[in-house]
Amino acid sequence: MCGIVGYIGHRDAWEIIIKGLKRLEYRGYDSAGVALVNGEMNIYKKAGKVNDLERFAENEELSGSLGMGHTRWATHGAPSDRNAHPHLSGSQKLAIVHNGIIENYAAIKEMLVQKGHTFLSDTDTEVLIKLIEQIQMEGESDLREAVRVALTHVTGAFAIVILSKEEPDLLIAARKGSPMVIGIGEHEYFVASDASPIVEYTKQVYYPDDNVLVFLNRENMEIRDLANLKITPYIQELELELEALEKGGYEHFMLKEIHEQPRSIANCMRGRIHAEEARINLGGISEYANKFLQAQRIIIVSCGTSWHAGLVGEYLIEEYARIPVEVEYASEFRYRNPIIGKDDIVIAISQSGETADTMAAVELAKKAGATIFGICNVVGSSIPRLSHAGMYTHAGPEIGVASTKAFTAQVTALSLLALYIAKHKGSLPSSRIATLLAELQKTPDLITSCLKSEPLVQLIASEIKDSTNCLFLGRGINFPVALEGALKLKEISYIHAEGYPAAEMKHGPIALIDEQMPVVVIATKDSSYEKIISNIQEVKARKGKIIAIVTEGDTVIRDIADYIIEIPFCEEALTPILATIPLQLLSYHIAVMRGCNVDQPRNLAKSVTVE
């Protein structure tokens, strides 16, 4: 989760690091800190936001062209000044920042205490830097070797950057299971948790693999694995543009990203659809197409919003391609000894491509011989590199912690995948595939139409913003939309909300309904329309406040519901994309009216890179 920025070069490190930490603040914002080396090791850290750190350090010595910074999402130890990174070794000559969890830190700490070390924080990170120094003292080895040896003794996930007061021309970085990218400039190098702090300075990047150490000075980069074997880096060109990281006139990144969905979905489809020929071009699957055609089962593994997209994918793949699909929480799948066969396809969905539980599930499935297909947004991230095949959603950077455009892009990608398999299996006639592709191509324009309901959504938000509970109901392919709508409201407004299949309301949740309970119902004209009307009547009879998402022109539900929000008519299988838009807007405006931090909701981080 945490955000890391490191710099070695000829520029002012403080300015680069602080600007980078602000761009990474969505990854963690319990506390922030910076270490600078300029003859001395100067450490400044503070609980709170990056702005709090800036104010704290404004009259301090901030010179230096070697440094590193960190924004924290607390795991070991409460948010506080003492637990903020960077952490120092016992001699105070070494400093470290760390993203991840050292699972065996307690045993290592006990050993270090017995050797006379004392600890100033509650973190696992401080244990690691003191282990490195202990190895350095015992073996009389240099810092590079001490770091390498220390990392062979730790279990867990990490992305680390290390500085030494005594080596002002060395920055050490390493990773295992946590994201990291190295930016390559002229006589300078950058290290970060993702590319957002780097894109302003260089487009040349290197993504280290697991168990790799990177040694940087101002002139060159040396890469070695934990066995001390030298590695030749694969340098890539960043596609990210700086403008994509700015708010562009919107009050919040979340609102910007909601309004970007016509473009993000168009980008996801670009070059992949030839509707008149009923053809889908998915270059990332071609080598493994036969695996999909022969698959007896598809397993989708993901977390959070991506899990909801996977549920939509289950409906799409089973409906179009007629292959059984199971959708699993990655965090549960990896621990329950699942039955995985060599003929199974495992689809891993992750916006960041770095979700720890999803990565672990992928590694488990891969060891069992399954074919892994990754659906991710971030180019060069870990899950695409672990996968046999896959596709990028091309949604662009998503800075708001609550996922919006990533979800609709994932559903779009799953729609394309389902139709691709159906085409090659012959499970749908070409004429039907052509129709569905033509409809899918219209979704950017239809979303633009959905966004026009924002003033009405704001009005509804003002009426229900003080609610303490909310229920979301949907049927069939729109049940996952109810789950996603509830999750968005919980995430950013802190209102308790639950998503349910509408027919299941009678099996418990109906007991909660009274005149104070808003009930949001996805009630578009589809195969379940008559049933959903009955469910709405049941809520109405118990005085629930009904907010219905309906198909444009609906007059039946208009007479029953307290509020209706219309979306354009579309193919039933595409309603999850359109119906999600007003639910995102509703959650956003309720959160704003409640004074919540929309882009950085409490206790959450964008990329969940720890278990």
Q: Give me the active site residues, please.
A: 2, 606
Distance of alpha carbon 151 from alpha carbon 143, whole angstroms: 12
The residue ranges of DSSP E strands in 9-113, in sequence order, are 31-38, 40-47, 66-72, 87-88, 94-102
Instruction: Collect all residues with Cβ–Cβ distance below 8 Å to 320 and sequence separation of at least 6.
Output: 418, 419, 421, 422, 427, 428, 436, 573
Which residue is listed with tokens 């999803």? Answer: 358
A 10 A CB-CB count for 169 gives 13
Find out whether 394 and 406 touch, Cβ atoms under 8 Å: no
- In the chain the first and final C-alpha atoms are separated, in Å, by 10
Q: Say how far apart CA 605 and CA 3 lie, in whole Å.
A: 10
φ, ψ at 189 (rounded to 5°): -140, 150
Q: Please name the helix (run of DSSP H) or strand (run of DSSP E) that holds residue 328, with its range, or none.
A: strand 325-329
Give the torsion through C-alpha atoms of 475, 477, 482, 488, to 10 deg. 180
Residue 571 gets the label, from left (phi > 0), alpha (psi -120 to 50) or beta, of beta
Ramachandran angles phi, psi of 329, nearest 5°? -65, 125
The C-alpha atoms of residue 300 and residue 54 are separated, in whole angstroms, by 43
